[in-house]
Amino acid sequence: MSHPFAALTPDLVLDAVESLGYLSDARVLALNSYENRVYQVGIEDQTPLIAKFYRPQRWSDAAIREEHSFTFELAECDVPVVAPMARDGETLFEHGGFRFALFPRRGGRAPEPGNLDQLYRLGQLLGRLHAVGATRPFAHREHLGVDNYGHASLATLLDGGFIPRSLLPAYESVARDLLDRLDSLFASTPVQAIRLHGDCHPGNLLCRDDTFHMVDLDDCRMGPAVQDLWMMLAGERHERLGQLSELMDGYQEFHDFNPRELPLIEGLRALRLMHYSAWLARRWDDPAFPPSFPWFGSERYWGEQVLVLREQLAALNEEPLRLF
């Protein structure tokens, strides 16, 4: 059977945009997106629009609208985000069996790793995000936890037979040891779950005209605040300590941070690693994935994963980062 996205042709993309009253100039540029499909669509005598077509059966309509509502809530509080465009009060549309949303085009540069001045400003941005996110919970979007990001990921990989037999015992052993450690870590570190960006890597924080703005809240969910912070840190421990200090100086101008969350950083990194492998496995029937990730399934990839997870297990036994 063909994948649902196989029916998402350029003509259908243009028809969907024009169904909302826009006149396209017939230019369609596919952008770098795998989970959903995202296109830049030229509009006659206007700035191009961004059309995002949601992966079928991933999020419910209520969950997508909750993402949009959160984005508008942030924008109303002057948090710089790229919000979807509304038409007659609606932001989620349907055409040809696909749900989609339109966004204004925004460009920019990703943050420079280790740039302390940028980290201060990013801390301010994330503090403002979390000040809004902490005011109430999501009703239709999941929590980030060891069960769904860890145990479910391992089950996907084992049940699907994605790990080469030669490396299966080693991977399963280190993954189960790691999950046992993570179960204990998260159980002993009670934190307040708030609404998060959820996938706050540098590519989703863009700078333009000396101002950072956030894009792509598709993975927003409930979880610990530190989930949106740890991917801003890079380098050796002494470098990350300095970066964390600068990030927190900006962050705590707008929202209090609970330092008890810091021991979760390496655990969250481990969960992201496992979840990424499982994400590739779950999407392998999508024709866009095998040519884009040809190394997935190779012994080299899984050998590297065994080593990386062992490193994460060791990192969990090291002293966590601290605020000074």
159 is catalytic: no
Which of the residues 180, 183, 216, 249 is marked catalytic?
216
The identity of residue 290, as a single letter, is P
317 is in an annotated binding site: no
- 316 CB neighbour count, 10 Å cutoff: 19
Q: Quick one: tokens of 179?
A: 């999950």
216 is catalytic: yes
Which of the residues 15, 199, 218, 286 is marked catalytic?
199
Q: Quick one: tokens of 24?
A: 């396209």
3-state secondary structure 214-272: ECCCCCCEEECHHHHCHHHCCCCHHHHHHHHHHHHHHHCCCCCCCHHHHHHHHHHHHHH
61 is in an annotated binding site: no
Three-state SS at 101: strand
3-state secondary structure 10-43: HHHHHHHHHCCCCCEEEEEEECCCCCCEEEEEEE
Spatial CB neighbours of 194, under 8 Å, sequence gap ≥ 6: 130, 133, 134, 137, 222, 223, 224, 225
Annotation: binding site: 204, 216
Question: Any idea which residues carry the catalytic annotation?
Answer: 199, 216
Annotation: binding site for Mg(2+): 204, 216
